[in-house]
Structures are given as C-alpha cells and as structure tokens.
Amino acid sequence: MLDKLKLLVAGLLVVAGIAGFYVFADSPAVVRVLSVLAGLILAAVTLWFTAPGKQFYAFSRESVTEAKKVVWPTRRETMQMTGVVIVFVIVMALFLWVVDGILFWLVQMVMDKGN
C-alpha cells in the first residue's frame, strides 16, 4: 500500500513539473525546463524508495552486465555484412523491376485485346 502511495506521489511530481512548464510561460526557457527536470528528478528519487523502483534498478544493473558480455562484431565483419545487405537490396530491386515490367506488359496486352 505504501509503495502505491509513493508511485502516486511520483506521478504527481511529474505532472507538477510539466504543469510548472506551462505556469511559468512568461519566464525564461531555462526556468521552464528546470521545472520539468525538477519534477522528473524528484519523481525518480521517490521511485527509488519503492519496491518496483529497486527491482527496476536491479534489472538495469543486470542488463548492463549482460550487455558487457555481448561479443560485438569487428569492423571487418560489419563492413562485410553491410556489403551483403547492399548487394541483396540491389538484386531484389532489379528482380522487382523486372517483375513489374513483365506484369505491366501483360496488363497492356490484356487491355489492348479488349478493344
């Protein structure tokens, strides 16, 4: 129950920050942006003390750990795969161009026979 109340407060803080953006319409843009940032930061701090917030933080840390385990392709592999994709796109474009031309020719033949 307490976590739900904290989540509600966090949501209200975000809404208050956005409302401040419009309340300070005559103020400089810096004040308006700081209003939104303050609402977001206060909401994040409030979320930090909730069980879902702690679960999200743990999930984020695990995601970073998993991302570090990924074996990223080398520059050479990336260039080779990019070349394969470009060649495939060109071949497919030519194939579709030929098919479109044939279908256009067939439709013209059928339309001319109707006259």
Task: Count CB-CB contacts under 10 A for residue 32.
Answer: 17
Tokens encoding 50:
């909730």
Q: Are 5 and 40 part of one and the same domain? A: yes
Assessment of whether the complete model's pTM goes beyond 0.85: no
- Specify whether 66 is located in the same domain as 80: no
Does one domain contain both 64 and 77?
no
Question: Structurally, how many domains does the chain consist of?
Answer: 2
Looking at the structure, tell me whether residues 6 and 45 fall in a common domain.
yes
Residues 50 and 84 in one domain: no
Whether residue 64 is found in the same domain as residue 21: yes
**pLDDT tens digits, residue range 95-108?**
999 999 999 999 99
Please list, in sequence order, all residues whose beta carbon lies within 8 angstroms of the beta carbon of residue 36, skipping any fewer than 6 positions away.
17, 18, 20, 21
Q: Which residue segment(s) compose the domain that 95 sits in?
A: 73-115
Tell me the pLDDT tens digit for each residue of 64-76. 999 999 999 999 9
